[in-house]
Amino acid sequence: MKSYHIILILLLNVILSCSSPGKDNPTGNDSETVNIVFVSDSHYGISREFNGKTRTSDYVNSAMLKVINSLPGDILPDDKGVGAGSSINGIEFIVHGGDVSNRQENGVQSSAESWNQFKTNFINKITTLKKDSTPTDLFIVAGNHDVSNAIGHYRGLNPETDPTALCEIYNLMMQPDILRNAEDFSYDSTKTRYAVNRFGIRFLFINIWPGKEEREWMSSYLDTIPQGVPAVIFTHDEAEIEYKHLSNPFPPYGVTPDLPYENVISDRAHEHESSVHEQREFAEWLKKYPSVKAYFHGNTNYNEFYTYTGPDNNVSLPVFRVDSPMKGEISAFDQSKLSFQVITINEKTKEMTVRECLWARGKKGRKMKWGESKTIQL
């Protein structure tokens, strides 16, 4: 009888070891695994149809945050990616990819009001914790709407300029000894760009797009770190940048209604209504820095995992485009497609899985659902 009990115990141990992810399971969400959330394009100041009613951006973004806050303890999908089938053990940081504020045109509220809503009902209401039970960090980059509100736009704004969101993003992320204020804020001399060293990875948060200024800054940083350490870029614009975000190449170089340049990136356009020249410069830079393993962005507002090859198909950069809760190309018309991204990284192997989290499935109270996923080696 005693030997029978021993056999049962041994069998039970085998079953438990096979069914529970752990350190011997490379996809298990154990002590070597960390989670990050990526959102973008909140566009505070506008409205959309949500749960059968017209809702403000403040309402919709708050609804999305409730889902983010509920993630710890949820189970990742069994998709063979990092942490597959295991519990989310904390959120190390949340990244916001810019366009906190919508452009203040056609009756849209000011940048100052949008920032106040974002701070009050998003920043101050993040309740998630890291694995070590300390509060989740928040990292933000600027978006083209945040910049346009600060410097003006060719379609005309009311007020004409309001740099509040851009200024507060800078103060929060850069933490200068003397805080900037909206009254004398200068976009030309005050750009939000910073690096975070976590999990043996360098996360680079840059202003709008990797133009000349951003590349010079990234180069000066990457040149100081050991060879082979992976780097990941978070920014607002896609690698295949929209030409209108470049600076006006025609004197007097300002933002003018007869030319579609927004001047949100300091690089002046080399070719009228084309960004091919600027993309070639970025592609050449990528060749010099193979440690850059991934690129995350918002701006064009739908979920997509793809590879950027440059205008001449001579680079290969994994790219992750995230949806917008307010201006999704698809989700603006079908709320069941509303999504943000959950990034899970194995600290030891540097394997990374990015998953689409479909957070508003079309019926009030219905739970979120996991969508697409992609795994890469950093």
Closest CA to 119 of 132, 106, 138, 93: 138
- List, in sequence order, every residue forming a beta bridge with 36; answer none if it has no partner: 93, 343
* 118 vs 16, more confident: 118
Domains of the chain: residue spans and CATH:
33-377 (3.60.21.10)
Q: How far apart, in Å, are the Cα atoms of 194 and each of 170, 208, 233, 234, 264? A: 10, 13, 11, 10, 18
SS3 content of the chain, % helix, strand, coil (to 5): 25, 25, 50
Q: Tell me the pLDDT tens digit for each residue of 303-339.
A: 999 999 999 999 999 999 999 999 999 999 999 999 9
What integer is the mean pLDDT of 34-43? 98
Task: Check residue 9 and give its pLDDT.
Answer: 37
Cα–Cα distance between 330 and 338 in angstroms, integer?
8
Lowest mean pLDDT among 7-16, 127-136, 259-268, 289-298: 7-16
Extended strands (E) in the chain: 33-39, 47-50, 53-56, 93-96, 137-140, 194-198, 201-205, 231-234, 292-297, 304-308, 317-321, 339-346, 351-358, 369-377
The answer to whether residue 81 scores a pLDDT higher than 80 is yes
Task: Check residue 273 and give its pLDDT.
Answer: 87
Task: Check residue 364 and give its pLDDT.
Answer: 58
The answer to whether residue 6 scores a pLDDT higher than 90 is no
Cα–Cα distance between 317 and 307 in angstroms, integer?
5
Cα–Cα distance between 31 and 29 in angstroms, integer?
7
In this prediction, what percent of the chain has a pLDDT beyond 90? 88
Average predicted confidence (pLDDT) for the chain: 92
Q: Tell me the pLDDT tens digit for each residue of 176-228.
A: 999 999 999 999 999 999 999 999 999 999 999 999 999 999 999 999 999 99
Alpha helices in 106-201 (DSSP H): 111-121, 144-151, 164-174
Cα–Cα distance between 329 and 308 in angstroms, integer?
20
> Is-above-0.85 flag for pTM?
yes
Q: Tell me the pLDDT tens digit for each residue of 331-363.
A: 999 999 999 999 999 999 999 999 999 999 755
